[in-house]
Amino acid sequence: MADENSLYQLLKSTFDRKGSDLHLKVGQPPAIRIDGAINHLEGVRFNRREFEKVLEALLTPAQQDRFKEGGELDFAYALEGVCRFRVNLYRDVNGIGAVFRVIPYRVMGFEEIGLPVAAQKLIEQPNGLILITGPTGAGKTSTLASFISYVNANARRHIVTIEDPIEYQFDDQMSIVNQRQVGGDTPSFYDGLLTVLRQDPDIVVVGEMREPRTIGLTLTAAETGKLVLATLHTTSAVQTAERIINVFPENQQRQILHQLSMVLRGVVSQTLLPKADGGRIAAFEVLINTSAVRSLIGEGKIHLIPSFLETGTEFGMQTMDMSMAQLVKKGLVKSEEALAHSSTPANLKKLLQGSRD
């Protein structure tokens, strides 16, 4: 019979095996994602009644009501002494399913993540907007947490986060850190941003910019002299700028371009690659908003950004292909894996050939 102890063992096994996600479905064997690949497990299976009983123990009454009404729910769950999990609960044609994403208690530092120095220095900016982007599961949350952890340990600041759900939790060190959860502490990212400027923040962290009102308010917050960090599900600086601009009506886009060009400090885009010796490692594209880049964005010439990334190495800029080529050169990633993950493999191939010459 599957019960709460069965779930505990599955979650602990996911963490112990260095898995990133545990997948559970009614009547189906559990599965753990390890190094990007799904691994099915034999043994325990939850029937519908068992699964619902276990979930009742995990959810508050308010969360149970939200799940019954909406058919899906995001929340955080702590396995004491092991780690935290970001949980997505959903209904499908077969019943109930859940995905538990591992969130370690320990926040990784910049060096452990492999964050380029130019990206690290962005957090030293007194104001403006820093964007951390990448596909789902690329490590954006870990990078965002490393920025918060660095400031918390090294500067006297007031940091306010708006998250859905809260994943990494921070105790005050040199800074004050207030974390607000959407759906519990504030109705939405937009509502949280509306009130945050009355809370005397130095740094505002927006878990995700999802729609025009939130994006517009994020840009406005960055204009007020605060440093704002936010994430987007985009894979490059070009795609990031285009996503921000294109969510607005055409008659507003020129103003948004101007706002973005003035407040942006940098874009850090990332993806995870399989390591040659097992595990995964991050590759990064880094855009620094120099005066030349600012002019490009302000004029709407976003398509020219890649050439500035390639030639802006003196400012710490780099393309994703440049980052991947360095990982291959160091023997950390196999060339075929890098080429398979590159959006422009022909360019990466040239870089790899050049490094061998």
Compute, in degrees rounded to 10, the torsion defined by CA atoms 55, 59, 62, 64: -10
Q: Which pLDDT belongs to residue 95?
A: 84
Give pLDDT, residue 356: 61
Residues 6+ apart with CB under 8 A from 30: 10, 22, 23, 24, 40, 41, 44, 45
Q: List the CATH code of the domain at 110-318.
A: 3.40.50.300
Predicted local confidence at residue 357, as pLDDT? 52
Q: Read off the tokens for 128.
A: 């403006």
What integer pLDDT is reported at residue 355 of this predicted model? 64
With tokens 């994430």, the residue in question is: 231
- Positions of CATH 3.40.50.300 in the chain: 110-318
Residue 29: how many CB atoms within 10 A of its CB? Answer: 13
Distance between CA atoms of residues 74 and 249, nearest Å:
30
CATH, domain range 4-103:
3.30.450.90
Contact 198, 113 (CB under 8 A): no
Sign of CA dihedral 77, 185, 206, 119: negative
Asked whether the beta carbons of 325 and 338 are under 8 A apart, the reply is: yes
- Please check whether residue 262 is in contact with residue 239, taking contact to mean a CB–CB distance below 8 angstroms: no
List per-residue pLDDT tens for the chain, 357 residues long. Answer: 566 788 999 999 999 999 999 999 998 999 999 999 999 998 788 888 898 888 888 998 888 998 999 999 999 999 988 999 999 999 988 888 999 999 999 999 999 999 999 999 999 999 999 999 999 889 999 999 999 999 999 999 999 999 999 999 999 999 999 999 998 899 999 999 999 989 999 999 999 898 999 999 999 999 999 999 999 999 999 999 999 999 999 999 999 999 999 999 999 999 999 999 999 999 999 999 999 999 999 999 999 999 999 999 999 999 999 999 999 999 999 999 999 999 999 999 999 997 665
Residue 220: C-alpha distances to residues 127, 131, 178, 199, 214 (Å): 12, 15, 21, 16, 10
For the chain, give every residue range classified as CATH 3.30.450.90: 4-103
pTM over 0.85: yes
pLDDT of 3: 66
Which residues are within 8 A (CB) of 56 and not within 5 positions of it... i.e. 6 or more apart?
Answer: 64
Task: Kindly tell me the sign of the dihedral angle through the C-alpha atoms of 205, 209, 211, 213.
Answer: positive
Q: What is the SS3 assignment for the chain?
A: CCCHHHHHHHHHHHHHCCCCEEEEECCCCCEEEECCEEEECCCCCCCHHHHHHHHHHHCCHHHHHHHHHHCEEEEEEEECCCEEEEEEEEEECCEEEEEEEEECCCCCCHHHHCCCHHHHHHHHCCCEEEEEECCCCCCHHHHHHHHHHHHHHHCCCEEEEEECCCCCCCCCCCCEEEEEEECCCECCHHHHHHHHHHHCCCEEEECCCCCHHHHHHHHHHHHCCCEEEEEECCCCHHHHHHHHHHCCCHHHHHHHHHHHHHHEEEEEEEEEEECCCCCEEEEEEEEECCHHHHHHHHCCCHHHHHHHHHHCHHHCCECHHHHHHHHHHCCCCCHHHHHHHCCCHHHHHHHHHHHHC
